[in-house]
Every structure is written in C-alpha cells, then in structure tokens.
Amino acid sequence: MKIVFMGTPDFAVPCLRVLAESDHEIAAVFTQPDKPKGRGYKMIPTPVKAAAEEYSIPVYQPLSLRKGDDAENSMEILNNIAPDLIVVTAYGQILPKEILELPKYGCINIHASLLPKYRGAAPINWVLLNGEKMTGVTSMQMSEGLDTGDMLIKRSTEIGENETYSELYSRLAVMGGEVLADTIAALEKGELVPEKQDDSLSCYSPMIKKEMSSLDFTKSAEEIHNTIRGVTGFTMMNGKRLKVFASEISHNIAHGEAGTIVDADKFAVSCGDGVVMFTEIQLEGAKRMKTADFLRGRKLEKGIKLG
C-alpha cells in the first residue's frame, strides 16, 4: 500500500518506524512545524521529522490542514500522492472531511487509551490522575468527531501502582507501533471488524494545565500520588520550588498535620488522609535526582511545612 503518516511527538515515532521498515511505500510524512528551543532559540525538528529524515521520507509541515494556503497546498500534495491509507498518531491537528475521505482505506488513528474512555488530547495523563488500573492502545477508523470512529484493534496493559507518566508514555508508544502493525496486517487480509463506540461509556481527557501540578496536601495521599504520577507535582520548601517526579504511598508512617514532613529520612509528607513519600525530586537550583541521593547531601528536618 501507499501510505501517508501524520504524527509529531516521540510517542508517534515507533508507529512511523513500523511503517518505514515494512514492505509498504511511505510516500510522505506530515508533522507540526519546527519550534525554537533553548537559549539560542534554535529551530528543533519534531521527533517524527527527525525519524522520517533517517528513512529519506519527504516531510511536510503545514501550519493548518483546515484553512488558508497551507491547507490548499496540503490537499494538492495529498491528491497527487493518492494514498491508499493515512495513518495518524498524535499529530496535533484535526483532519478535515476531504482528507478523511481521500484514501481508499480511509484514515486510521492510533490512540493511547482503551476507547471509548479517555478520548481527547491527554489520555495518558488522565488515566494516572484518575488512578486507573488498566489502560492500553486502540486503533480506530477516523471520523469527523473527536476520537469517535469505529474501533479496530485494542491492546490493554496494567498500570503499575507507582508508574509515572513518562514510564507509561514510553510503554504505550511501543505498544502503539505493535497495534498499528497488527491493524495493517488485518486490513490487508480483510479481517478487520470495526466496532462502534458506546458513547455512554466515553469520557474526555482535556489538555493539561500548569496549575494542575500544584500539590494541595489537604487532599488524600492517593490524590497527591496520582497528581505526581500524572503531571509531575510541585510545592514550596523553605522558600524554594520543589518538583516531585515520583512518589509512593506509605502505609506504616504515622500521619500528622497536612503538608508537614513526618519522616525526614524518607521524605515522607503527611496529607489530608495518609502519607506520601517523595522518591524522585528536584529542588530549585539543583539537579533532578533520586530522593536517596538528595538526602545524602543534606539533612531534612521533621516538621518542615511544605506549600
């Protein structure tokens, strides 16, 4: 088949590699425009663009597929390619109807949740924020709605009780490539059986906002733990900003006033209900490190109030 791939972040790279290393013709890659980064504001290619260049695949980076000259040029490019299939993984743009209807086999999306749950932009964050025990990847036939198309193939996985966003993101990225490979193999054999989504079971996962990372220690230890896992937490300690990248819930450290350190040797903090231990942190002005390494270089005092 002649395939066009659309994707942007490193989550989409395993899917692109599956296609590039298959027997199919990858005619083009569409990805978001490069963005400036770092002190010198150097333009950095998207991870998908960088991977596409490894395979010498033509790359297009329109600002929009829905309006303006970029949209017209993109439609002309796609009409000239005449792809049999378009594969979309975390592209970051909504495809207009004329693109959805262009390929012979339509457009297939690889989505990082067990649809119909967690439609939208940030499913990995939200399964962790909500303390879900299971998640996975779903391939679907794209429609005009937001992640509402017919489901094709699902693969599920258990979520570790202390698993963080970055860890789950990496696992699901690999799983996405596997699901895509299975989906295309079934498509070629005529074995795909599309399944309608039950809208009554759906929920939405909106974009993450910075303020969601602020730790409110009047909440339960489970809520604090899930915030850290899902979006990386932050608080203040002795006038300095403290980022918290990983944590564990303690079941045997005595509870105290919310927000206070109740065990300095384990960086254990009391919450509204229960105690959470910080296991990977970054104090303002210092490097990110495991808490055990942090505590080797300085001594915490029991009773310090965070926030």
Per residue in 82-98, pLDDT (tens digit) is 999 999 999 999 999 99
Which helix (H) or strand (E) segment holds residue 126: the answer is helix 123-129
Residue 39: predicted pLDDT: 76
CATH of domain 2-201: 3.40.50.170
pLDDT digits (tens, 9 = 90+) for 138-172: 999 999 989 999 999 999 999 999 999 999 999 99
Residue 306 has φ and ψ, to the nearest 5°, of -95, 155
Residue 260, amino acid: T
CA dist., res. 224 & res. 132, Å (int): 14
CA dist., res. 297 & res. 267, Å (int): 13
Instruction: Provide Rg for the chain, Cα atoms.
Output: 22
CA dist., res. 81 & res. 6, Å (int): 14
Residue 38: predicted pLDDT: 77
Helix extents (H) in 142-202: 165-189
Nearest to 246 by CA among 223, 228, 272: 228
Which helix (H) or strand (E) segment holds residue 58: the answer is none
Residue 36: predicted pLDDT: 87
Residue 298: predicted pLDDT: 85
The structure's pTM equals: 0.95
**Dihedral of CA 45/51/55/59: which sign?**
negative
pLDDT digits (tens, 9 = 90+) for 171-196: 999 999 999 999 999 999 999 999 99
Ranges of residues in the chain with a pLDDT under 70 are none
CATH of domain 210-297: 3.10.25.10
Residue 40: predicted pLDDT: 76
Domain ranges of the chain: 2-201, 210-297
Residue 166: predicted pLDDT: 97
Residue 297: predicted pLDDT: 77
Residue 128: predicted pLDDT: 98
